[in-house]
């Protein structure tokens, strides 16, 4: 009789244990409806453009963001504030080894390592990989219904992108390009 009660008790404990854990739900990012824009700054102005997403997903425990990742197609980097010859030159330069080196590094990835928050506002820690170099980044992400947005400030020199950086080269004067650039991310899932 004791063995029967012990078995029933064990089964009940296991059942309650399994019910107390909720499974993470992974939501796939719709890359066609999502958008990543960038803005880079130099002494004499700024430039902006887009980068296409290749893939992505976010993980939720109920409605709470728990993790996720997305991959950017660096071959798609595009300048939107220039036209013609100047646009072609800047797009080509950004794709070259001076900047993102897309021949060897066609993608960049961001993987969320920690997300804390409530009411759709999260403090996020993530690992960003550009040119096979991974660095931690922190930013705020807002999640509402089937979309997530974030503004991420990135120091390009941490990813061995030093071209035109006054931190590494002297006498650049008005040719200097600031080390930080912005990524504005709008994910739809």
pLDDT tens digit string along 37-48? Answer: 999 999 999 999
List pLDDT tens digits, range 127-167: 999 999 999 999 999 999 999 999 999 999 999 999 999 99
SS3 labels along 34-93:
CEEEEEEEECCEEEEEEEEEEEEEEEEECCEEEEEEEEEEEEEEEECCCCHHHHHHHHHH
The class (CATH top level) of 23-188 is mainly beta
Asked if residue 10 has pLDDT above 80, the reply is no
First to last CA, the chain: 54
DSSP state for residue 94 in the 8-state scheme: H
Q: Per residue in 49-67, pLDDT tens?
A: 999 999 999 999 999 999 9
β-strand pairing of 64-79 with 45-61: antiparallel
Query: Shortest CA distance to 76 belongs to which of 97, 49, 99?
Result: 49
pLDDT the model gives residue 133: 98
Rg (CA), the chain: 22
pLDDT at 11 over 90: no
5 pLDDT more than 70? no
**d(Cα 156, Cα 167) in Å, to the nearest integer?**
11
* CA-to-CA separations, 88 to 53, 78, 93, 98, in angstroms, rounded: 21, 9, 8, 15
Q: What is the mean pLDDT of the chain?
A: 92
Instruction: Please check the confidence at residue 12 and state whether its pLDDT lies above 80.
Output: no
Dig out the tokens for 8 from the structure: 């029933």
Q: Please state whether 44 falls in left (phi above 0), alpha (psi between -120 and 50) or beta.
A: alpha
For the chain, counts of helices (H) and of strands (E): 2, 9
pLDDT in tens, 110-126: 999 999 998 999 999 99
Q: How many CA atoms lie within 13 A of 163 on its CB side?
A: 12
């Amino acid at each position: 009789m004791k063995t029967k009660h012990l078995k029933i008790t064990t089964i009940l404990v296991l059942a309650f244990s399994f019910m107390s854990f909720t499974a993470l739900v992974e939501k796939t990012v719709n890359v066609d409806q999502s958008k990543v824009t960038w803005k880079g700054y130099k002494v004499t102005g700024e430039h902006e453009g887009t980068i296409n997403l290749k893939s992505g997903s976010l993980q939720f425990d109920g409605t709470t963001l728990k993790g996720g990742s997305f991959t950017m197609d660096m071959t798609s980097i595009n300048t939107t504030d220039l036209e013609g010859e100047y646009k072609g030159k800047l797009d080509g330069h950004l794709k070259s080894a001076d900047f993102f080196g897309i021949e060897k590094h066609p993608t960049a990835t961001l993987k969320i390592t920690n997300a804390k928050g409530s009411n759709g506002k999260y403090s996020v820690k993530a690992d960003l990989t550009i040119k096979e170099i991974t660095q931690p980044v922190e930013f705020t992400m807002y999640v509402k219904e089937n979309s997530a947005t974030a503004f991420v400030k990135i120091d390009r020199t941490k990813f061995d992108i030093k071209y035109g950086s006054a931190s590494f080269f002297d006498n650049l004067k008005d040719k200097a390009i600031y080390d930080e650039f912005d990524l504005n991310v709008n994910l739809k899932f």
